[in-house]
Every structure is written in C-alpha cells, then in structure tokens.
A and B are shown apart, each in its own frame.
Chain A
Amino acid sequence: MTRLGAVVASLIATLAIVTLIAARSWESVPTQPLAFSHKVHAGEYAIPCLYCHVHARRSAIAGIPSVERCMGCHAIMKTDKAEVKKIREYWDRQEPIPWIRIYDQPDFVYFSHKRHVFKEIACKTCHGAVEAMDRVQKAVVLDMDRCVACHMEKKASIDCLTCHQ
C-alpha cells in the first residue's frame, strides 16, 4: 500500500469511528429539555411507573405525563429547584415539554403496553432499570429476536399478525 493511500484510509476510518461513537452515544443518552431524573422519582421516591405513564394499562400507548400532571406535584414541591422552575415556565407559557424519544419501534410494529401490563410483565423487562437512571437511556435492544424469544418462552402468540398489521 502506498503511504498516501494508507494516510487517506486511516483518516477516513478515524473520522468514521469518531462519528459512529458520537452517533451511538448521542442516540442512547439524549439530553432532554429538562433534566428529569427517573432515579429520583422511580428510585428514591418509588413512585410507580403507572402513576405518570397512566395509559399503559388502558391503551397500546403508555403515554407521557401531561404538564398538568407534573404541576400536580411541582406546583408546591421543590419549587426552588432550577429544573422544577423550568416546568413552571413551560406551564406558564402553556407549552408542552418536547421530550426526546428513547424507545421507538418501526411503523409496521404494533406493540400494546396494555397487553403486557395485563400479563404482569415488569416494565424493566423491556426498559431496563429505569429507577437507577438519572438520564434514561436505551438499556435493552428491542429487536424482533427479543420479542419472539420472550413470546416463545411465555407461550404467547407468534402469529406474524400479532405485531404486524
């Protein structure tokens, strides 16, 4: 290999690796518009998941808490904290908080939170130990392999149309 070729190749490779690392880390631990800590809420105060993600037992969609729900507590609690003040600001502006999505399934996948909550599958089975995370990141790879393995183990349906419709 020529020296020039080697230099060009290694430069490109380095650039690619750096980009890749940046992309991966950025994808798995995104910076949310305000530093909400699951560790504090779900961990220290042991607030049940379904207290805020209210729709999980009634709908396919678990739901992200409304700003009103945040204010339900934070209108009086810890109002002096910087991050809590941010909630207040959103509320005063009557603006929803644009949370960044962590878990996303392709559009051809139909997953029902309700069915899994009914079956008492713990939230952490798919979402990891959220109660230990300050910033939530993808802890479990939710690919079809994992879905099917669990479905087979629990003797749930593995009919394609259970999840694809």
Chain B
Amino acid sequence: MSQRINRRNFLKILGVGGAATALVSCSAEPPETLIPYLIPPEEIIPGVATWYATVCRECPAGCGMLVRTREGRAVKVEGNPSHPVNRGRLCARGQASLQGLYNPDRIRQPLLRGDSGQFQSISWEEAERLLVERLADLRRQGKAKGIACVTPLLSGSLDHLIGTWLAALGSKRRLTYEAFAYEPLKAANRIVFGLDVIPSYDIGAAELLLSFGADFLETWISPVAYTSAFATMRAYRDGRVGTAIYVGPRLSLTAANTDQWVRIKPGTELYLVMGLIHVILKERLAPSIPQKEAKQLKALVKAYDPEAVAAVTEVPAGKVFRLARMFARARPGLAIGGGVAAASRNATATLVAINLLNYVTGNVGRTVRFGPNANLAKLATYRDMLSLVKAMDKGEVQALLLYGVNPLFTLPEAAGFRAALKKTPFVVSFAPFMDETTAEANLILPDHTPLESWGDYSPWEGVHGLMQPVMQPVFKTKAVGDLLLSVAKRVDDRMAKEFPWPTFYEYARDRWGELHRRLAPMKEFEAFWEEALRSGGIWKEARATPVRLSPEVFQMAFEPPELDGGAAEAFHLLPFPSLVHYDGRGANRPWLQELPDPVTEIVWDSWLEIHPEAAKRMGIGDGDVIAVTSPHGALELPAHLHDGLHLDTVAIPIGQGHWAYGRYAGGRGANPLVLLSPDPEEVSGGLAWSATKVSLRKTGRRHHLVTVGGSSQQFGRGIAQTISLAEMTELAKDGEGAGREAHRPKQIYPPHDHPKHRWGMSIDLNACVGCNACVAACYAENNIPVVGKERVAEGRIMSWIRITRFVEAQQPNRPDIRFLPMLCQHCDAAPCESVCPVYATIHTPEGLNAQVYNRCVGVRYCSNNCPYKVRRFNWFQYAWPEPLNWQLNPDVTVRTVGIMEKCTFCVQRIREAEDRAKDEGRVVREGEVTPACAQACPARAIVFGDLKDPRSEVSKLSRDSRRYQVLEELNTQPAVTYLKKIRQALE
C-alpha cells in the first residue's frame, strides 16, 4: 500500500491548506460606519479646527489660552497672543491642562460615602438633594455659621457667587487658599510702603536682576510672563546684556540661568541684603533719597558691615562690596525675593530689607511698580488656614465645602488637618479628581475642569480673562457655579429669590454687565461680550501709585532665624516647588511626569538632593534610600548628589508623594510637607517653608532614579557653545554675517534642489532657559506616547525634542549649566537618509527630512547613523487610556509598533499654511508657520521660517554673528542654527 503520505504530497496539502487558511482569515473587517450630524452646528466644519479663547487655571498666574478643537474635541492648547500676561506663550503645565480634561482618573459622577466607608455612585438629583437637606438643616438649627468653604484663588463671577451664596446661607467662613500664597511679600509691602499688595516687577527693564530665592522662571508669581521678560532683559543690545544674580542655598533652574549663583547659608539672606544697603549708604551710592531717611536707614543697617555679614552668610566680604556697587550702578536694578527658598522664620524681614534695597537704589516706581497689583494678595494666609483647622478641631465646623484645593496634601502634616477633617461631620468636595482630601470627603459633587466651564479670572488689576467651555463635558460632571445656583433655589424661597439666575452662564454675563458699564459703556453689551469671548477677555491699563516709606519700617526687628530642630538635625531642609507639578496638582498628568526635571534630568520620581561632600562624609551614594527625620515627621527618599547646594542643606521637590490622585501620581516619591514645622512665620502668618532641620540615616536599600540622556559632559565637542560678551561686542562691530562661515566641504552626493521653500529653524541659547515648555507642546501636537519610568530607563523615551543639559567644568559659585533643545536637525546631507534600505527617510523638496511611516520596516539603521540621536523607535504599540486618546491630533499619524519616528518640523502646520495660501492664491507668508515648540516657548528662543527667503527672520539669524551648528564638522548641513549663549564674567 502506498497510502503513506510522502514528503511531496505532504507539502502539497500543506500548501493548498495554508493558502486557504490565509484566505479564510483574510475576511474583511466589520464595516466602519459614518455617523453624520443630526443637526450640524453652525461654527463647526468637520476637518477644520475651531479655536476658543479661555484662561489657563493650572496655577494662579492666569495666562490666556487659545484652545484648538476638532470635531468638538479639544486637541491642543496654546497661549493667547493678545493676553497681556503671557502674550501667546504657555508653559508645560498649561500645555498639560488637556490631560486634566481627559484624565482617565477623573471622577465621573457624584459619589457618596456609604456606611461601609466605600464610595458609591449616586445620581446628581440625589447628590444635590443630600447637600440641600444638610445645608437647610444647619440653617434651621441656626448652625449656618458652621458652614465653611475653602477655594483656591478666584476672582470675578465665581468668587462673587461663592461669597454671596455663603453669606446668604449665613456663613462668613470663606477662605481662598493656595499652597504658595506669598504672605511675607505682602506683609513686607505693608511694613515698608503701607500697602498690603503684591506689585508688578518689571524684569524686562532691569539692567541687573538680583533674586533672593525667587524662582521666577519656574513657579514664582507668573513664570511665563517673567521668562519672557527675562529673555528681553538678557538679549544683546549695544554692547551689553542684562545681568542676573541668584542668591540662595540651592542652584535651581532659575539660578542656573543667571550669570552668578551666590551660595548662601540658608536663612541668612536678610544679612546679605542689609549688608548691601549698608555699603550703598556708606559709600553714598544712593543720592536720590532724602537726607533724613538716609540717616534713619543708616542707623537701621549699622550693624551689617560686610565683615559681619560674611561671618553669618558665608558670602565673602569682598563679594558683598562688589554686589552692592554693581547693584547701585545698575540703571535700573531690581531685587526680588519671596519664594519658598527664602521662606524661613525671618522671611518677612528679608523681604522688608529687599524692599529697602530697591527703595534706596531708586528702583521703586521704575522696576517695582505698585499698580497693577497681583490679585494673589487677596489670598488667605497660612495662619488663617490654621485657624480653620483649629475651628474644625473644636467642632465648630459642621460642614466643610472644598473646591479646587487639596489641603491634606499641601498643608504640613503636623498642622493637624487630617485629624480636624475626621472631626468635621460633613465634608463635601467639588473636585474633578480624587485627590487626597477628596478621598476623605463624605459627598463628592465633581466639577467640570476649567476647559469645560464658564468663568472669569483676573490675575492682575485691569486684566479680566474670560473663560468659556471649549467642548461638551467629558463626564457627567456639573460646574460648581451651576450647582450653587441650583442649590440656592432649593434651600428656601428667600435664597431662591436672591439667586434667580438659571445657570452660572447667565450669572457671569450679568457680572460682566457691570464690567461693561465701567470699562466700555459706549459699546453695546452684546458686542462687548462677543469681543471679550473672541479675544479672551478685556484689559485696561492700571495706573501705578507712587509710594513712600512707611514709618512702620523703622520699628522692624531684624532677628536671626530660628530653625526647627535641635543639634541632632544636622541638615537644613529646603523643599522646592516642582517646575511641572507646582504644589502637586500636576502630578496626575502623564506628560508632566515624563518631562525630565531640567536640573537633575530625573523623570517620574522625587528625590533628596544632597551635596556630594556631605554625602561622602556620610557614605551616601546616588540612589541610596535615605530616611529623613524632622521633629515633625519622617519619610524615605533616594539620594541624588547635586553640587548646586549649600553643604548643610538638603532639598526635596514638592509635588510628588501622592497616596491618592490617580494612577499616574499615586505612590511616587514622598511629600516633604510631612517634615515641616506647622508654626507660621510670625510677622506674615505664612508657612515657614524652609525653617525645618532634618537628620539623615541610610536605610541600606537602593532605589533606581531614572534620568534621561547620557552624559552631562560635552567632551570638547562644542555642542552647547557660548561666546563672551567682549568677543560678542567685537563681532557685532562687523555687523551681520560676521560669524564663522559654515564650513562646507565637498559633498559626495548631488546637492538638493529646493524649488519653493527650505524650512529652517534657529534656536537662541541665550534666551532658552530649559523650561521644557517646548517638549510638552510637542507631546501634545504630535501624538507622542508616554512610555513610563521603566521604559525611560531603557532609553526608550519618545520625545521628539528634548532639552539636553551640559554641566561645564565646575567652579564654585559659578554655575555653567547649559541647556540646548535638541531635535531633528533636518540635515541637508542627512546621514540617516543614505542608510535607509527602503527609502523611508528621504529629503523632501522643501528641505524636510521626511520619515514615511508606511514605508518604514524598522531596521533602525537611520537611528544608528544619526549623530544627534533624535530618532525614536516604537518598541511597543503604545496606548492612550480612554479618554486620553480624545486628545490625539487628527492631523498627525498615530505611529504603530516597529517603526521609526522623529520631529517633522510640524509638517501638518506647514501643510495647513500652504493649503490656506493656495486658497488665497499666494505663497506662504513669513511667520505663518509656527511649529508647536516655537509657539509655546516663553522665552521666544525658537524662530521658524523659510531659509530660501533671504529676508526672513530665520535667514537673518542663520547669518548672525553668534551662529553655529551642532557637530558642524560632520558636514550634515543642518537646517537648525543655534545662537551661542552670551557669557558674562562676573567677579
């Protein structure tokens, strides 16, 4: 019998069967449907973006935003160019507001804590009924005074509504609370000038900026506005650039961007300021102040001669002299302070001294202007919060309403809020996220996020930003304004009559009616309202008021700071606000977690910074887990060695260490507030952030702190270059194009032809401060996946643009940290192109180095051959948990596993501009295309345009005397030109 299956037949069957199986499995996918509108909305054309103006509420700075929506979904936020605070720029936190809107951990419907202690979902109807019953009960029992409400800084309509609503209920317990409330700044202005305000600081106009621990490029007051002003101040003009000096115990990002970092013993800033005034008055460098005042002031600073100052502050006497003379010479100068770094027990005294320093040098009225003042001054103090805690503890608070605040996380643990909360019978939270405080509430009525809400916000006098919902709410949430009005109608008739508005929208419009009568009575209200909606608000110049010295200042006692902690606590603790997480509210945005901290380059974590010498003394290595103990609490964190610190100081970023707050924030690092002393600073009532001493102990365990990038050294390759001011002045004499001509050796490949455009970019390293706004903007615009800590550790971060940080040869007190935004250089002779076996990366006629995703087969030769290391490979199929995927930009392909990707110069924006130009029968205009990075940059460091047009800004900059290209000697002929950072040698 030959029934045996031989090899030949076996293969035949296998072949036919295999083909058949392949065909069967090839059956078509289920049909895709096309869902049309039922009734098309007038303003929406599918496929065309609609923009709405609103206000960023990620911090109290209140920058204007424009939100790009597609088919009813917000996909990108940008700064509003007409808003006076940020002038079109936006920081990383603002960019990430979208990840608040689409956060998968948002509270999706009202929740009630059941008898078991677990939250259960309830309907809005029931939730409102519960709230109304409780409030009405308290009123009936005459206990309405026991209703307390804590909100963040609000202004305008919602502020007014909450105030009147609470008053109508019969309570005056209303607190506006922010973790960073600038109490000493306000108190110092009251003491020195008799004004309880926070003035405007004109950083852009200053010739010499002296910052005492104010991190104005990161979180201090209005960072986007100040970064922009700082860039103006630092720009080269007529042989000079503005000088900046930072005094503080830690080399922060702000300090790293100044010309000199004066390392000072923590808490002794006051002495240095007094020393400066001493020298200025003694040497008669302040001729403009009246004789009598000069005499009084002299008496005040008598004890602070430079030698005495040097002994306390560890700043050499010679330097005190030099600083004083330099500052007095500056026309004008500006001294600022009031950040967390200088918030010790004498914070107010320090700021009083800074005010006096500005006063004696004639800066008040020039760079320090009282008007427009910041609305931040309306905040309650930390001491007010303590009184609330005490009242709660005593059982005086029957109902606590929390809106947009998270005191359990942002108050020192030792302040006792946790215990007080337990004693409060009814806690209601209106938070959109399950933060730590909300997790302890009895009833949660989730609010919309700001991007879904009507509202208004005024950060400064005269600046009235208008907020409008940019899309339908993502979840079943309810705007807190609407909720309060609805509750008012149900509490009783009198309250219903007092609050007749059907929704908060009508309420806000009515409030704007008042603004209309005051600011633009000649205009029709409807026109006024529409104009405000379109431009994002209304702005009026506020006049500055002249100020005089108040006699109170001469009664001021300048005492040395007390520190909390005995001899056992050897280290001074400096908690500092994180650039991206602020007071912790940013920690649930995955983009912000994946952005490296600019100074340490660490992602997804928190750490304990310690000076290498101190670490050596204690045998601590990088990554050793350290137990940190203060008289008030303890925590454990991995050590990170950082020589930008005072020897006796350890620093911990604020913002991580959440135990609730969703999947991205939970369980990362530790919250330094558990260590802090709860006692407020005496004079201002502010939290004394840096008045606690701690002791350290090695636990013997280790923790892997993940950083991006490779080396912090340049190894002489001249990647981030600088030029001295003297050289610069020499070159500037020769005019434009005096810079070294690009070295152009022979090419073995034929040159590229660029018939229409050659897109190019210029990046000014003198302006760039390394704030990461460009990186966040790129994530948002280009659908870049977040890969998480473990993947970053494997070198698989996907960012198309990154801030590379180089630390130059260390000289004490002379930081030379250089930041360089690195992205695809779109080389004319691109090394990646010649090695691609499938032509997936090719040069386009417009000078772009294109990556054609559908051609790419993933061999990664291109990445190997790229000298700039800007190409990213998709090792995995990355997913965006619903509804984070709603944010994806429909104009950019979402890449799949196994292909290479990189910066495209935002080709979708180039195409959009070209499309518009074609419609109008013209060519693309200069400035019409702005990639996301350039758009966001608060320092205006990035300029984009057509290199073929010799008159374009980018062409001019590519011939600038400071021009250079990274790794120019490789003859890659990049389309990106860098401008060297200007270096000033200060003694």
Seen from chain A, the residues whose Cβ lies within 8 Å of a Cβ on chain B are 1-2, 5, 8-9, 12-13, 15-17, 19-20, 22-23, 26-27, 30, 55, 58-61, 63-69, 91, 94-101, 104, 106-108, 110, 112, 114-115, 118, 157, 159-162, 164-165
Closest to B840 in A: A160
Does residue B704 face the partner (Cβ distance < 8 Å to A)? Answer: no
- New A-B contacts (4) at CB < 8 Å, excluding given A9-B20, A97-B36: A5-B12, A110-B911, A165-B892, A165-B911
Chain B neighbourhood of A8, CB < 8 A: 13, 17
Q: Are B37 and A59 in contact (CB under 8 A)?
A: no
Closest to A90 in B: B38
For the complex, give the distance between the alpha carbons of A107 and B899 in Å: 15
The listed residue (A9, A17, A61, A159) touching B845 by CB distance below 8 A is A159
Chain A neighbourhood of B35, CB < 8 A: 64, 96, 98-99
For the complex, give the distance between the alpha carbons of A70 and B645 in Å: 71
Q: Are B24 and A19 in contact (CB under 8 A)?
A: yes
Closest Cβ–Cβ distance, residue A57 to chain B (whole Å): 10
Chain A neighbourhood of B842, CB < 8 A: 160
The listed residue (A26, A55, A118, A159) touching B47 by CB distance below 8 A is A55
Chain B neighbourhood of A107, CB < 8 A: 893-894
For the complex, give the distance between the alpha carbons of A97 and B845 in Å: 44
Chain A neighbourhood of B745, CB < 8 A: none
For the complex, give the distance between the alpha carbons of A19 and B845 in Å: 46
For the complex, give the distance between the alpha carbons of A94 and B45 in Å: 21
**Residue interface mask B9-27, A partner, CB < 8 A = 1:** 1001100110111011011
The listed residue (B12, B28, B47) touching A1 by CB distance below 8 A is B12
Q: Are A16 and B23 in contact (CB under 8 A)?
A: yes
Chain A neighbourhood of B376, CB < 8 A: none
Q: Are B13 and A19 in contact (CB under 8 A)?
A: no
Q: Are B844 and A161 in contact (CB under 8 A)?
A: yes
Does residue B908 face the partner (Cβ distance < 8 Å to A)? Answer: yes
Q: Are A5 and B37 in contact (CB under 8 A)?
A: no
Q: Are B20 and A15 in contact (CB under 8 A)?
A: yes
Closest Cβ–Cβ distance, residue B929 to chain A (whole Å): 13
User: What are 8 A-B pairs at a CB distance below 8 A?
Assistant: A1-B9, A55-B46, A67-B36, A99-B33, A99-B34, A99-B36, A115-B915, A161-B904
Does residue B723 face the partner (Cβ distance < 8 Å to A)? Answer: no
Asked, given contacts A9-B17, A55-B45, A66-B38, whether A23 binds B892 with beta carbons under 8 Å apart, the answer is no
Asked, given contacts A9-B13, A95-B38, A165-B908, whether A160 binds B19 with beta carbons under 8 Å apart, the answer is no
Closest Cβ–Cβ distance, residue A87 to chain B (whole Å): 12
Q: Which 7 residue pairs across A and B have the least CB separation, nearest first?
A: A61-B47, A59-B47, A16-B20, A12-B20, A16-B23, A64-B36, A9-B16
Closest to A6 in B: B13
Stretch touching chain A among B426-434, B602-610, B849-857: B849-857
For the complex, give the distance between the alpha carbons of A109 and B367 in Å: 54
Q: Are B33 and A101 in contact (CB under 8 A)?
A: yes
For the complex, give the distance between the alpha carbons of A16 and B16 in Å: 10
Closest Cβ–Cβ distance, residue A104 to chain B (whole Å): 6
For the complex, give the distance between the alpha carbons of A165 and B909 in Å: 10
Chain B neighbourhood of A15, CB < 8 A: 20, 24
Q: Are A94 and B38 in contact (CB under 8 A)?
A: yes
Does residue B918 face the partner (Cβ distance < 8 Å to A)? Answer: yes
Asked, given contacts A60-B47, A67-B36, whether A106 binds B21 with beta carbons under 8 Å apart, the answer is no
Closest Cβ–Cβ distance, residue B415 to chain A (whole Å): 52
Does residue B471 face the partner (Cβ distance < 8 Å to A)? Answer: no
For the complex, give the distance between the alpha carbons of A108 and B23 in Å: 25
Does residue B734 face the partner (Cβ distance < 8 Å to A)? Answer: no
Closest to B842 in A: A160
Closest Cβ–Cβ distance, residue A11 to chain B (whole Å): 9
Chain A neighbourhood of B907, CB < 8 A: 161, 165
Q: Are A101 and B32 in contact (CB under 8 A)?
A: yes
Chain B neighbourhood of A16, CB < 8 A: 19-21, 23-24
Chain B neighbourhood of A13, CB < 8 A: 16, 19-20
Does residue B40 face the partner (Cβ distance < 8 Å to A)? Answer: yes
Closest Cβ–Cβ distance, residue B655 to chain A (whole Å): 36
Does residue B48 face the partner (Cβ distance < 8 Å to A)? Answer: yes
Chain A neighbourhood of B3, CB < 8 A: 2
Asked, given contacts A5-B13, A9-B13, A16-B24, whether A66 binds B892 with beta carbons under 8 Å apart, the answer is no
The listed residue (B5, B28, B36, B38) touching A5 by CB distance below 8 A is B5
Asked, given contacts A66-B40, A107-B893, whether A20 binds B47 with beta carbons under 8 Å apart, the answer is no
Chain B neighbourhood of A115, CB < 8 A: 915, 918
Seen from chain B, the residues whose Cβ lies within 8 Å of a Cβ on chain A are 3, 5, 9, 12-13, 16-17, 19-21, 23-24, 26-28, 31-40, 45-48, 842, 844-846, 848, 850, 852-855, 891-894, 904, 907-908, 911, 915, 918-919
The listed residue (A112, A118, A165) touching B893 by CB distance below 8 A is A165
For the complex, give the distance between the alpha carbons of A23 and B31 in Å: 11
Closest to B13 in A: A5
Asked, given contacts A13-B20, A67-B38, A94-B38, whether A108 binds B854 with beta carbons under 8 Å apart, the answer is yes
Closest Cβ–Cβ distance, residue B315 to chain A (whole Å): 55
For the complex, give the distance between the alpha carbons of A58 and B24 in Å: 42
Chain A neighbourhood of B45, CB < 8 A: 55, 58-59
Chain A neighbourhood of B24, CB < 8 A: 15-16, 19
Chain A neighbourhood of B846, CB < 8 A: 159, 161
Asked, given contacts A60-B47, A99-B34, A110-B891, whether A12 binds B26 with beta carbons under 8 Å apart, the answer is no
Asked, given contacts A108-B854, A164-B893, A165-B892, whether A23 binds B845 with beta carbons under 8 Å apart, the answer is no
For the complex, give the distance between the alpha carbons of A108 and B46 in Å: 18
Q: Are B33 and A98 in contact (CB under 8 A)?
A: yes
For the complex, give the distance between the alpha carbons of A5 and B5 in Å: 9
Q: Are B844 and A59 in contact (CB under 8 A)?
A: no
Chain A neighbourhood of B31, CB < 8 A: 30, 100-101
Asked, given contacts A58-B45, A161-B848, whether A5 binds B9 with beta carbons under 8 Å apart, the answer is yes
For the complex, give the distance between the alpha carbons of A100 and B904 in Å: 34
For the complex, give the distance between the alpha carbons of A51 and B20 in Å: 46
The listed residue (B12, B28, B37, B915) touching A9 by CB distance below 8 A is B12
For the complex, give the distance between the alpha carbons of A96 and B38 in Å: 5
The listed residue (A96, A110, A162) touching B36 by CB distance below 8 A is A96
Closest Cβ–Cβ distance, residue B16 to chain A (whole Å): 4
Chain A neighbourhood of B894, CB < 8 A: 107
Q: Are A101 and B854 in contact (CB under 8 A)?
A: no
Chain B neighbourhood of A63, CB < 8 A: 36, 46
Q: Are B36 and A23 in contact (CB under 8 A)?
A: no
Closest to B846 in A: A159
Of B12, B31, B911, the most chain A CB neighbours within 10 A belong to: B31
Closest Cβ–Cβ distance, residue B365 to chain A (whole Å): 53
Q: Are A165 and B891 in contact (CB under 8 A)?
A: yes
For the complex, give the distance between the alpha carbons of A107 and B783 in Å: 13
Q: Are A159 and B844 in contact (CB under 8 A)?
A: yes
Closest Cβ–Cβ distance, residue B931 to chain A (whole Å): 13
Chain A neighbourhood of B33, CB < 8 A: 98-101
Chain A neighbourhood of B904, CB < 8 A: 161, 165
Closest to A26 in B: B28
Asked, given contacts A8-B13, A66-B36, whether A164 binds B854 with beta carbons under 8 Å apart, the answer is yes
The listed residue (A26, A95, A101, A159) touching B34 by CB distance below 8 A is A101
For the complex, give the distance between the alpha carbons of A106 and B854 in Å: 10
Q: Are B39 and A68 in contact (CB under 8 A)?
A: yes
Closest Cβ–Cβ distance, residue A2 to chain B (whole Å): 6
Asked, given contacts A9-B13, A66-B38, whether A100 binds B32 with beta carbons under 8 Å apart, the answer is yes
Chain A neighbourhood of B853, CB < 8 A: 108, 164
Closest Cβ–Cβ distance, residue A100 to chain B (whole Å): 5
Asked, given contacts A19-B27, A108-B853, A114-B915, whether A12 binds B38 with beta carbons under 8 Å apart, the answer is no
Closest Cβ–Cβ distance, residue A116 to chain B (whole Å): 12
Q: Are B21 and A12 in contact (CB under 8 A)?
A: yes
Q: Are B34 and A20 in contact (CB under 8 A)?
A: no
Q: Are A27 and B28 in contact (CB under 8 A)?
A: yes
Closest to A158 in B: B845
Chain A neighbourhood of B40, CB < 8 A: 66, 68-69
For the complex, give the distance between the alpha carbons of A108 and B893 in Å: 5
For the complex, give the distance between the alpha carbons of A35 and B48 in Å: 30
For the complex, give the distance between the alpha carbons of A99 and B35 in Å: 6
